[in-house]
């Protein structure tokens, strides 16, 4: 506007001067009265002079204008340079929105914040809006409308997200103001924009840190470089009892418990200086005087020059953790039922005692106490009564202890007793007898009196025991000896027991492979009809043909098979072999009526025995009536109801059934009469004394009479002499078996 007014004035002034020059110069020439030719020449000179004069004037005007224009351009460039430097220093970009032309300008810095070139941003609001985060558009439009509604008073400021070239969004803070024209209408909207993504992240981190600082359950303490407390969090007050007003400005030494010496704190400060941090367990004092444990971490905070500005300590009260550790340690080393030490703690104490005995040349002993037939208590009265009995046993044995003894429950019904009193063998035997005598009195459990006995194994530290494992193994061997000697007694360890145990372990391992290696054999013993002396059947008996030891006696490996659980697999194998052999004999013309196969208590207690028998009969083609299954009296009476159901299912298959070892168990006659069995087998222990032992005579006569009255046949086993056979025949016994008639063999003599 100023430039246009100056040009107008200059033009009017030029017209005025030129007009005056023309009027006055022409009048002056006329007034001179010169000839026309001379006047024409003067007119020419006057015109040329006017042109030169106006040209000179125009030159001066243009030169002055160019100089002023250059100065203005320089000032503008310097201003733009300063603006650009200011924006660069502030890491801001420029945006300019021409509201009349509806075009946008973005500076290169603005575009670079988004990883773009200015041309990529375009010059329209629609293109820019495509990069705005959808969630931020309502806020952007509201702020924009507020600025446009009050252009003279409102400073525009907005925060939003724009999409970067890599697809991420950057937080942009925009500030600006509307430029108005003379009419007061918005003409331009110009401002700056800054990328505040990192600042937003830092602010979020600070807010989170502040929230953690306030809400954390760990106490936080901040001191300055001079060790004055400058800040604490609420957890600090809760743990220590000191309020902010009471602790700010104080030295942290106010919290010392006095339990740590100067060397402890010197080491702490040395680590802080050298490594910038320290962590560990420390005991401090609360405001009420209570000393408590902390787990504390201290860090030194340095400024940009590396100087220490603050120390920050974060700590937690580990009183509950310490208490829990003690409780867990107790649980890990004690039996929860009896509160006695458990096997782990007992083993540790035996190890320490063994080392002390070796170092101080002292004697010591370990006693292993095992309750006799404890499983009968659990099976008949239930596990709750069994647990109460174990607790009562522990309480009674505890009363026998002195200061250098440790009683532990090792598991199940087994207790261990460690004696570190330097007892000799005789004194240890006296102690063992005291333990046995303590079981003579009944145990009162839930308003009832229970009697139980125990067996003890004793191992002395001098019994070739170099390690804890050896001495415990020795004591276990001694206990096995005591159990084998009739129970309710004690036995000392001897070297031969260990050798026997080692051989037994090897035997178990070899027996596990005997089936796969086809080392088992089936031998058959004749069953004789005592009335006419004919062989009516055979009993299948398993034998083990060991590759090195030869034929292993059944009394040696059958108990091991029963204890290891292999007896079921062996019984099934014998059943298969016996049925196949019986079919082979029948095809060869044998007149045998049946083959008898023993069924162990383990196999009998399985509900699927009848299915196994049916499967074997189907596979071999043997008629069910040609198979007799012998079940021990004790196996039947473990669970009479289940046994009766299984026997009935077996009888429905058509097989013959016999009760083996009759008279050695505790059969109920009421149940016996309901059992679907065909035969009773009189145990050889009652046959051995015939025909002279009056007790054996009475028992044999009673069993035979009982069997016949129940419509059962009776077979006597273990007949070794002719007079035994004759006497049993006279008593009316139906069948006989024993070495008198024939020993077990792979083939019967008449079938060989």
For 129-138, write each residue's pLDDT tens digit: 888 899 999 9
Contacts for 304-310: CB closer than 8 Å, 24+ residues apart: 307/225, 308/225, 309/224, 309/225, 310/222, 310/223, 310/224, 310/225, 310/230
- Per-residue confidence (pLDDT) for residue 394, from 0 to 100: 93
Of the listed ranges 70-79, 245-254, 358-367, the least confidently predicted one is 70-79
Euclidean distance between CA atoms 498 and 472, whole angstroms: 11
- Per-residue confidence (pLDDT) for residue 495, from 0 to 100: 57
- Per-residue confidence (pLDDT) for residue 549, from 0 to 100: 81
Of the listed ranges 29-43, 574-588, 604-618, 692-706, the least confidently predicted one is 29-43
Tokens of 296: 């504390």
**Tell me: the pLDDT tens digits for 479-512?**
988 887 778 888 888 755 455 555 666 777 788 8
**Tell me: the pLDDT tens digits for 346-377?**
999 998 888 888 787 778 889 999 999 888 88
Return the H-helix or E-strand segment holding 223: strand 219-224
- DSSP conformation class of 155: P
Euclidean distance between CA atoms 8 and 344, whole angstroms: 114
Euclidean distance between CA atoms 341 and 747, whole angstroms: 58
- Per-residue confidence (pLDDT) for residue 752, from 0 to 100: 36
Cα 95 to Cα 99, 111, 325, 590: the distances in Å are: 13, 10, 66, 117
Banded model confidence at residue 87, pLDDT cuts 50, 70, 90: low
Residues 6+ apart with CB under 8 A from 612: 572, 575, 606
- Per-residue confidence (pLDDT) for residue 721, from 0 to 100: 92
- Per-residue confidence (pLDDT) for residue 26, from 0 to 100: 67
Q: Is pLDDT at 289 greater than 70 in this prediction?
A: yes
Residue 691 backbone phi and psi in degrees, to 5: -100, 25
- Per-residue confidence (pLDDT) for residue 190, from 0 to 100: 84
The structural domains of the chain, ordered by start, are: 2-82 (no CATH), 90-201 (3.30.450.20), 216-323 (3.30.450.20), 337-493 (3.30.70.270), 509-751 (3.20.20.450)
Banded model confidence at residue 664, pLDDT cuts 50, 70, 90: low
**% of residues, the chain, pLDDT over 90:** 23
Cα 668 to Cα 536, 637, 638, 699, 704: the distances in Å are: 30, 8, 12, 16, 17
Contact call for residues 346 and 416 (beta carbons, < 8 A): yes
Burial class (CB in 10 A: 0-12, 13-18, 19+), 515: middle
Burial class (CB in 10 A: 0-12, 13-18, 19+), 518: exposed
Of the listed ranges 69-73, 101-105, 277-281, 363-367, the least confidently predicted one is 69-73
**Pairing status of strand 186-195 against strand 219-224:** unpaired
Contact call for residues 95 and 122 (beta carbons, < 8 A): no
List the one residue out of 434, 416, 430 whose CA is nearest residue 367. 416
Mean confidence (pLDDT) of the chain: 83
Tokens of 172: 């942009």
Q: Is pLDDT at 656 greater than 60 in this prediction?
A: yes
Banded model confidence at residue 751, pLDDT cuts 50, 70, 90: very low
**% of residues, the chain, pLDDT over 70:** 90
- Per-residue confidence (pLDDT) for residue 617, from 0 to 100: 92
Residue 593 backbone phi and psi in degrees, to 5: -85, -30
For residues 270-296, give the mean pLDDT: 89
Euclidean distance between CA atoms 447 and 445, whole angstroms: 6
- CA 225 from chain centre, in angstroms, equals 44
More confident residue, 206 or 695: 695
For residues 232-249, give the mean pLDDT: 89
Contact call for residues 649 and 672 (beta carbons, < 8 A): no
Return the top range by mean pLDDT from 500-504, 626-630, 745-749: 626-630
List the one residue out of 537, 541, 546, 547 whose CA is nearest residue 522. 541
Contact call for residues 675 and 636 (beta carbons, < 8 A): yes
Count Cβ neighbours within 10 Å for each residue of 233-262 and write b for 16 or more, e otherwise. bebbbebbebeeeebeeeebeebebeeeee
Euclidean distance between CA atoms 99 and 87, whole angstroms: 23
For residues 178-187, give the mean pLDDT: 76
- Per-residue confidence (pLDDT) for residue 750, from 0 to 100: 58
- Per-residue confidence (pLDDT) for residue 152, from 0 to 100: 65
Banded model confidence at residue 83, pLDDT cuts 50, 70, 90: low
Contact call for residues 95 and 191 (beta carbons, < 8 A): yes
Rg (the chain; Cα; Å): 57
- Per-residue confidence (pLDDT) for residue 198, from 0 to 100: 83
Euclidean distance between CA atoms 179 and 189, whole angstroms: 6
């Amino acid at each position: 506007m100023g430039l246009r007014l100056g040009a107008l004035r200059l033009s009017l002034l030029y017209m005025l001067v030129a007009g005056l020059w023309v009027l006055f110069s022409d009048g002056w020439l006329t007034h001179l009265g010169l000839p026309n030719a001379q006047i024409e020449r003067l007119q020419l000179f006057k015109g040329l002079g006017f042109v030169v004069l106006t040209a000179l004037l125009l030159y001066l005007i243009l030169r002055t204008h160019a100089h002023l224009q250059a100065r203005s351009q320089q000032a503008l460039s310097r201003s733009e340079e300063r603006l650009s430097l200011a924006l660069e220093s502030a890491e801001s970009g420029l945006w300019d929105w021409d509201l009349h032309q509806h075009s946008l300008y973005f500076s290169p810095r603005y575009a670079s914040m988004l990883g773009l070139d200015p041309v990529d941003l375009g010059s329209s609001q629609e293109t820019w809006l495509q990069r705005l985060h959808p969630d931020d558009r309502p806020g952007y439009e509201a702020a924009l409308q507020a600025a446009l509604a009050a252009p003279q008073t409102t400073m525009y400021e907005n925060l939003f997200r724009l999409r970067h070239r890599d697809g991420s969004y950057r937080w942009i803070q925009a500030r600006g103001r509307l430029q108005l024209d003379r009419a007061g209408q918005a003409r331009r909207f110009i401002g700056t924009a800054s990328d505040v993504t990192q600042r937003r992240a830092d602010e979020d981190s600070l807010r989170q840190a502040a929230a953690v600082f306030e809400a954390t359950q760990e106490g936080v303490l901040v001191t300055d470089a001079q060790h004055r407390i400058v800040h604490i969090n609420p957890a600090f007050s809760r743990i220590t009892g000191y309020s902010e007003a009471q602790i700010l400005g104080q030295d942290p030494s106010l919290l010392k418990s006095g339990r740590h010496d100067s060397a402890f704190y010197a080491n702490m400060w040395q680590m802080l200086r050298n490594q910038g941090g320290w962590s560990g367990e420390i005991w401090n004092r609360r405001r009420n005087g209570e000393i408590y444990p902390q787990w504390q971490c201290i860090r030194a905070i340095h400024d940009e020059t590396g100087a220490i500005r603050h120390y920050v300590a974060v700590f937690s009260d580990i009183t509950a953790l310490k208490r829990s550790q003690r409780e867990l340690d107790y649980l890990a080393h004690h039996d929860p039922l009896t509160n006695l030490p458990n096997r782990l703690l007992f083993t540790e104490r035996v190890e320490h005692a063994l080392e002390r005995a070796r170092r101080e040349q002292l004697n010591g002993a370990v006693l292993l106490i095992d309750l006799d037939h404890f499983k009968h208590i659990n099976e008949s009265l239930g596990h709750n009564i069994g647990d109460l009995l174990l607790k009562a046993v522990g309480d009674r044995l505890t009363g026998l202890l002195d200061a250098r003894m440790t009683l532990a429950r090792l598991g199940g019904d087994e207790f261990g007793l460690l004696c570190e009193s330097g007892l000799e063998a005789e004194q240890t035997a006296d102690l063992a007898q005291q333990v046995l005598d303590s079981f003579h009195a009944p145990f009162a459990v839930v308003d009832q009196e229970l009697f139980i006995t125990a067996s003890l194994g004793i191992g002395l530290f001098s019994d070739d025991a170099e390690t804890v494992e050896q001495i415990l193994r020795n004591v276990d061997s001694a206990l096995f000896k005591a159990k084998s000697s009739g129970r309710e007694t004690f036995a000392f360890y001897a070297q031969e027991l260990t050798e026997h145990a080692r051989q037994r372990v090897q035997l178990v391992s070899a027996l596990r492979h005997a089936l796969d290696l086809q080392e088992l054999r089936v031998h058959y013993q004749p069953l004789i009809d005592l009335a006419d002396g004919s062989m009516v059947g055979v009993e299948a008996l398993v034998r083990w043909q060991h590759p090195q030891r030869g034929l292993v006696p059944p009394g040696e490996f059958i108990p091991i098979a029963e204890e290891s659980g292999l007896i079921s697999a062996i019984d099934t194998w014998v059943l298969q072999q016996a049925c196949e052999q019986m079919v082979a004999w029948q095809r060869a013309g044998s007149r045998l009526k049946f083959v008898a196969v023993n069924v162990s208590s383990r196999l009998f207690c399985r509900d699927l025995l009848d299915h196994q028998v049916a499967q074997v009969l189907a596979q071999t083609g043997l008629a069910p009536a040609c198979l007799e299954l012998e079940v021990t009296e004790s196996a039947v009476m473990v669970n009479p109801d289940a046994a009766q159901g299984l026997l009935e299912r077996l009888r429905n298959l058509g097989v013959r059934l016999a009760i083996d070892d009759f008279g050695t168990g505790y059969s109920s006659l009421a149940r016996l009469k309901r059992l679907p069995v065909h035969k009773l087998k009189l145990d050889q222990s009652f046959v051995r004394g015939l025909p002279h032992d009056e007790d054996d005579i009475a028992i044999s006569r009673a069993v035979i009479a009982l069997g016949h009255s129940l419509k059962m046949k009776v077979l006597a086993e273990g007949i070794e002499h002719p007079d035994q056979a004759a006497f049993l025949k006279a008593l009316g016994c139906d069948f006989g078996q024993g070495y008198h008639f024939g020993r077990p063999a792979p083939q019967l003599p008449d079938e060989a």
